[in-house]
Amino acid sequence: MAIVQSLPTTEGDRRKLALDSPVDRHRIGELEVTTPAEVEAAVARARAAQPGWAARSIAERAAIVGAAIDVIVRRRAEIAETVRLETGKPEAEAIGVEIVPACDFLNYWTARAPRELRSHRQKLHGYLKPMKKLYMQYQPLGVIGVVTPWNAPFVLSLNPVVQALVAGNTVLFKPSEVTPRSGEWVARVLHEAGVPADVVQVLHGDGETGAALVDAEIDKVCFTGSVGTGRKIAAACAARLLPYSLELGGKDAMIVCADADLEKAAAGAVYLSMFNTGQVCMSVERVYVVDSVADEFIRLVKEKAAEVTYGPGDTDMGPFFWDRQRDIVIRHLEDARAQGAEIVVGGEVGDGDGLYFQPTVILGAHHDMQVMTEETFGPITAVMRVRDEDEAIRLANDCKYGLSGSVFTKDADKARRIAAQLITGSVVHNDGAVIYGVPEAPFGGRKDSGVGQVNGPGALRSFTHAQPVLIDRWQPKRESIWYPYSEKTIQNLDGLIKYGFGNKFVRRLLS
């Protein structure tokens, strides 16, 4: 992402940030920071616009939002160029990581919204069935605040914003201050598609702007970012009983079983730890390989990692998007070296002014090293030999994070058995980070990796209040349990317990 620096201002002036390219550090723009007062005004506009947006039918909202696909298709080169300007990503990643899944998410959510959000009758169980009818209807929450990260600034902004919009909410979102124009494209394509200006608004700035949004009179917070910021948001929301979802950091483990296709496993270990310069919350950050196949696996990993090209131009791997992220990676590598790890590929800063770093492979890693316990977020394949799959499972679970994980084996049933033992939000067989791009799959972390889930069957409904409406079927003058109590009341209740729940056959009928 762009390197951010505060620009000097005089008293009373709006704060500004300078944005420099991670490719060569040249100035690529400036950003005016949205003030807390402007955040408050934007929330007021969103609040005023929300009833009118919610009054449209679900199908109408979905059609308007879905028209953004055509806008993205038409303007894909401009969007990709903005992403590349701010991040330095290779063109393949700007298109494949950002634009392809953005189109897919739009297509998926807008097609399913009318079915997922429609009011419907819910079947009742047991003794209430003859007397009542239950209906479910889904009310928009109101105004949603979305705070998004820098590593995939277009798609990670678009996905929650689209879900919230088709559910009938208005949205204010703040992209990271270091990829502001990439995130801003989300509002631009939606406005061009026909979403009213006050229904989706973009706010620019740093942590001050994000805090102002979280503290504003909104109805839900959807955050993707660091654990530290996530904890602050959780505390702020808890004080107001405000719903929130947090998609935080990861330290994803990859288990290489003895029966794995080693060629594919080695290619996966390198790619899944290095694409997007390793700056993916579902990156493979720890590799546990069964000892019986470790020598051949390591040979292949070294070979494939050495072939990864990096640097400016038409290469496989771009720079770090953020200068401070490179500092973290260097610190983790120095710690690993000091504790005896062997760096067999890479491990050094690239030449020139850009934030480039060599594709890196570490052997002899263990759990006293930061590179195996803290989120590194860089292009490092850290490999640890294990005795067997049971030890791999134990070590994979020995982590404060639990976002996702990978199991490489030719046996799909074994992959499922291992997955059932991993304390992590999701598991992928013979692949990795693709799980976020599967909208049918609930995505979210356990432990320090977050709270709540995006995607999956409940995603759209998580931006609504599921309101049950219980209808009186026969409308009698009074209900049997109402005042005044009598001996007959007690007999009826006792009979229900004795002859209903006390009889196994009747109990099954009541279930």
Distance between CA atoms of residues 96 and 316, nearest Å = 13
Identify any residues that bridge with 447 across adjacent strands, giving them in sequence order.
401
Pairing of strands 380-386, 284-290: parallel
As a whole number of angstroms, the distance between CA 187 and CA 201 comes to 7
Q: Among 147, 138, 140, which Cα is nearest to 216's? A: 147
- In the 8-state DSSP scheme, what is residue 483? S
Q: Which of 281, 374, 375, 389 is catalytic?
A: 281
Phi and psi at residue 286, in whole multiples of 5°? Answer: -140, 130
Do residues 393 and 422 lie in contact, with contact meaning Cβ atoms separated by under 8 Å? Answer: yes
Please answer whether residues 508 and 125 qualify as being in contact, where contact means their C-beta atoms are separated by less than 8 angstroms. no
DSSP H or E stretch at residue 239: helix 227-240
Q: Which of 169, 176, 186, 90 is nearest to 461 (CA)?
A: 169
Active site residue 32: no
Active site residue 40: no
Amino acid at position 409, single letter: T
Return the bridge partners of 145, or none. Answer: 172, 221
Residue 444 DSSP one-character state: -
The SS3 call for residue 317 is strand
CB atoms within 10 A of CB 477: 5
Q: For the chain, what is the total number of helices (H) and then of strands (E)?
A: 17, 21
Query: Which residue has tokens 């490719």?
Result: 23
The SS3 call for residue 412 is helix
Q: Are 164 and 171 in contact (CB under 8 A)?
A: yes
Rounded Cα distance, 385 and 295, in Å? 9
Which two structure tokens, joined as six digits, stand for 490?
């007690």
- Helix H, strand E, coil C: the string for 96-117 is HHHHHHHHHHHHHHHHHHHHHC
For the chain, what's the residue count?
511
- Tokens 């294990």 identify what position? 386
Catalytic residue chosen out of the listed positions 86, 247, 374, 375: 247
Is the previous residue joined to 484 through a cis bond, with omega within 30 degrees of 0? yes
* Nearest alpha-carbon partner for 65 in 250, 196, 235: 196
| Active-site amino acid positions | 247, 281
